[in-house]
Structure 1
Amino acid sequence: MLEQGMLSELVKYVLPSELIDYFELVDIKKEGDIVHFHLDELPVIPSEYAHLNLSGNGFYASSTIKDFPLRDKKVLLHVRRRRWVDESGKSYSRSWDLVAEGTRYSKEFAYFLKEAFGYPPDTCPIS
């Protein structure tokens, strides 16, 4: 069994870089030819809201992002963003830019598909 430090290092090479610092890998499941990575945003109040008295209020519904395949398996990232609330009940969250515009693909994977095949990601034969 890999020690925790080695596993954390391996995850850095597999997941998109913007997820590494702000999300925790909470589960991995294989379902047929798909590997599902489940990630939860870490409980760190966004710096732009540091002046507010915020408390955690669970998560928004999970978003699914298609990423690079691994060993002939499709990869889906299930990302849950944290929700924060102030004393009045107003909700806050960190602003994320995790997918390519107009797609559900990670930015790097969408760029690769477009460059390699010349297709918009949703019409590519391997997506």
Structure 2
Amino acid sequence: MDISIDLLKLILPELLITHFDITNHEVENGVLHFYFEEKKESPKEENERILIAHGFHKEIAIQDFPLRGKNVYLHIKRRRWLDETTKRVAQRDWNLVAQGTRMTIEFAAFLKVLSQYQS
């Protein structure tokens, strides 16, 4: 495995590294942006259906843990699938965003614990 992928697994949610391709990254005004697209592997939970890749959903941006004093945003494009038999759109059920936030679940949990110590 590429050492850069091993390093990314340490600093980014493993789910992203495993199921998404990193397409770009940039630092803009002290903010680090990572861009991801879901891999073109049909969902294993849908193996009884014949699915074909059918574009992407609208990109979402999620705030993640800061790195080296820089805010980090993950820009994620989820893949849309078309059931060849029924012609209905299908998608994976990702739980990437903490309820009511625009942050990863891990980052939201970290901030919640941190706020309890400050009270």
Using structure 1 for the length normalisation, give the TM-score: 0.85
The percentage of counterpart residues that share the same residue type is 41
Any gaps of 5 or more consecutive residues in structure 2?
Answer: none
In 1, Cα distance between equivalents of 2:96 and 2:35? 15
The runs of at least 4 aligned residues of structure 1 exceeding 4 Å deviation read none
In 2, Cα distance between equivalents of 1:86 and 1:106? 29
Alignment of 1:111-122 (within 5 A): 111-118=109-116
The answer for the alignment partner of 2:32 in structure 1 is 35
The answer for the alignment partner of 1:89 in structure 2 is 87
Q: Is the 8 A contact 2:5 2:17 kept in 1?
A: no
* 1:89 CA displacement: 2.6
Any gaps of 5 or more consecutive residues in structure 1?
Answer: 120-127
* 1:17 CA displacement: 2.0
Alignment of 1:1-127 (within 5 A): 5-87=2-84, 88-118=86-116
- 2:38 aligned partner, one-letter code: E
Q: Number of aligned pairs?
A: 116
Residue 43 of structure 1 aligns to a residue whose secondary structure is coil
Q: Deviation per CA, 1:32-66, whole angstroms, max 9, x where unpaired?
A: 02111001111111112111111111111111111
Q: CA RMSD in A?
A: 1.6
In 1, Cα distance between equivalents of 2:46 and 2:37? 19
